[in-house]
Amino acid sequence: MQDYRMKKITVALLAVSLLACSVFQSGCSKRLEPGIDAKTDVAIVKSDLKKAYKTYNPQTRINYLRSAYDNAGQLEADWPDSEEVPVFMKKYGGQLQPIPGQVYELSMQARDLDSFKWAVSNSAKVDTQYAALLKMWQMGKHWRDYFMSEYPEKSLSIFMNKAADDYSVRFFNQSIGAFKADNYRLELPLDKTEFNTKFCRFFAEMIETAMGEENTERIGFLLDHMPTLKSVIYIDPKTKKMMQALSDYVCHELKDEALACELVGLGYDMNRVDIDETGFGRDFAEALMADLEHAVIHVLKLNEWHGPLSAKETKFLLILPDPTLRLVHQQHLDEAIETSIKSNNVKTTRIALRLIKFREEIQPLTLQDYDQLLSWSLKYKNRTVYDYVKTESSQTDMYSINLADLGGSPTLFKQYAPKIFKKIYKTMDRGPQPDGTTLGRIDDLLISHNPESVLYVVRKYDFEDDWEDLATDGRTLLMAVCEGGNLEAATYLIESKRADLHAKTRYFEATTTLFGSARSQEGGLSPLFFAVQSGNSELIKYLISKGVSVNSRSGLGATPLMYAVSNNDLEATKTLISLGADVNRTMNKENASNPAQEGGYRIISTAYGRALQNGNQKILGVLVKAGARSN
């Protein structure tokens, strides 16, 4: 029984001993309480030193060294009058002094951050050279965090470089704010070009991931912390492509103006942004204005885009200073000039004159350029620009002026018409002549909606016989006037010249669709069809009041109502129905030249079918209310 009790006591003592050993090995130094005398305490320190240099285990050696160093530091305080302590310190001080440095080295071997901090707190010299910091990165999260808190100016850029290498998003998220605040400053020996390339690529890959996850908050975070292009030496093709894809995503898919402004501010190349499509407003305009050259070249692409400008783009172009305008494609300068002439107020006219002078500085304006300016000034009734052009170029060619444009200014039209019309070439060609005009150019005037000028022409000049003698396929002067919706001129031709209200065009192309045509190529059209194309309800009413049938038929059997519906003209549709148009009339089925074509004819053979094809719900509603059937 006694042996059993002794065994239990032995086991208990062994457990306590192992526990104590475990605590000691963990890096916690055993604190020495004052003993019976100085000799005993000195002996303990000596023992720790002796044990430290006998063991090969780094962690065990650390623990003995720390214990010896800490306890030695207490000897003089605990035994100020002792003769033992000075003798000990004199003999062993040389061994105690390098202990913090030794623990510093050993702690990295043992990955003991607590002992590392102990060594630093006891004046161990910290190595913050590039190679040492790379090693600290490899030591793991807690070591990085310690160095970032204690030595951020040394470790930040090197750790950011490793984060890009190792794709450490956690460290990036944690430290990018500080890195941005430090202006992305690099510590040698990092190569700036290589780092910029790698770092921006890292951003691009994270942006790509965020786009795939549709994580707009993450995209915003990344854009907020990404370096501007001006601060970057070089970006690789994938980064460039990713930033361009991001512009499409942000501007045209998300339509997120705040993110778009951030993206513009960074200065990277973007895919062309159409401001009208985005719906962006003042904030985006201000972002563009912050760097006009970037806006022109990298955002709106005004130097390489050859399509038409949207309204907002043109408005933006009008405010550009001359140096930036030099980056803009000439086509867009012309668009801006026309837009400013068209607005026709004091401010925009002043802008127009500035742009015209700027264009002349880049390349002297040709006679054709001046003729174009003259046409615009006439078309939009801008007398200031007109006077400027006449003053600057005495060689403007009045014969090349578009008569429809000139017709927009009746006073000027009446001034120039006698000379222009002095010689009329009997051809429907629309090219300018050196000393007169053609019936084709006059046709452009008649089909334009310039009532006063058109009325002036049909009253003053009698060329109806010549008109019908030409290859016009039966398209009469009255038809041209009706196509322009010119009620007064049509009235004059009918009342005074006895123009034929029931004349029909001769040309006929059965395979031509009726949709989308400004001037139909279908035959058998009377003046009423042309009036319907103009959309002038008063003219439609007038023709029908003169005995024209509201249900007139074309060569294919189409009715004026079908034309109004095809043109998506709600008012003309209502007018024809109110005048008795049959909403259920059908075209001639036999005009389909083959069975495959019958399906297409079936679709457009009724007014209802045409409205359905156009998707015009308002017109469909009007037709249904009037009794239209779906078949």
Domains belonging to the chain, first-starting first, are 24-125 (no CATH), 329-396 (no CATH), 473-625 (1.25.40.20)
Q: What is the pLDDT of residue 33?
A: 61
246 is written with which tokens?
């991001």
Taking the mean position of all CA atoms in its chain, how far away is CA 373? 33
C-alpha distances in Å from residue 584, one per residue of 50, 67, 332, 566: 114, 107, 48, 15
Q: What is the dihedral of CA 507, 512, 518, 523, to 10 degrees?
A: 20
Handedness of CA 224, 225, 231, 237 (dihedral sign): negative
Angle at 630 between CA 624 and CA 631, to 5 degrees: 140
pLDDT of residue 411: 84
CA torsion sign, 392 to 393 to 394 to 398?
A: negative
Task: Dig out the tokens for 446 from the structure.
Answer: 């008649």
Task: Give the strand pairing for 424-425 and 437-438.
Answer: parallel
Q: How far apart are CA 197 and CA 233, in angstroms?
A: 8
Dist CA 251 CA 257 (whole Å): 7
**According to the model, what pLDDT value does residue 366 have?**
86
Question: How far is the C-alpha of 31 from the C-alpha of 77, rounded, in Å?
Answer: 14
Let me know: does 471 contact 438? Beta carbons within 8 Å: no
Tokens representing 240 are 């460039």
- Confidence at residue 196, expressed as pLDDT on a 0 to 100 scale: 92
176-208 pLDDT, tens digit each: 999 999 999 998 888 999 999 999 999 999 999
Q: What is the pLDDT of residue 507?
A: 63
Closest CA to 507 of 456, 555, 460: 555
Residue 206 tokens, joined: 């994270």
What b/e sequence results for 578-597 when a residue is b if at least 16 CB atoms lie within 10 Å of its CB, and e otherwise?
ebebbbebbbeeebbeeeee
Distance of alpha carbon 521 from alpha carbon 508, whole angstroms: 7
Give the CA dihedral 251, 252, 253, 259, nearest 10 degrees. 10
pTM for the model stands at 0.63
DSSP-assigned states of every residue in 162-196: HHHHHT-HHHHHHHHHHHHHTTT---TT--HHHHH
Q: What is the largest distance, in Å, between two alpha-carbon atoms of the chain?
A: 146
pLDDT < 50 regions, the chain: 1-29, 31, 509-520, 592-598
Residue 425 phi/psi, 5-degree rounding, is -80, 130
Cα 171 to Cα 271: distance, rounded to the nearest angstrom: 31
Peptide bond into 189 cis (omega under 30): yes
- The string of pLDDT tens digits covering residues 11-35 is 343 343 333 344 344 444 454 566 6
The closest alpha carbon to 549, from 589, 501, 507, 584, belongs to 501
Best CA proximity match to 573, nearest among 520, 513, 626, 612: 626
Contacts of residues 570-575 at CB distance under 8 Å and 24 or more positions apart, as own/partner, are: 570/616, 570/618, 570/619, 570/622, 571/535, 571/537, 572/532, 572/535, 572/537, 572/540, 573/607, 573/619, 573/622, 573/623, 574/622, 575/537, 575/540, 575/541
Give the per-residue pLDDT at 416.
86
Q: What is the pLDDT of residue 363?
A: 87
> What is residue 351's predicted lDDT score, i.e. its pLDDT?
94
Measured CA to CA, the distance from residue 624 to residue 200 in angstroms comes to 61
- Percent of the chain's residues with pLDDT above 90: 69
pLDDT for res 600: 60
Which tokens hold the place of 515?
A: 């949709």
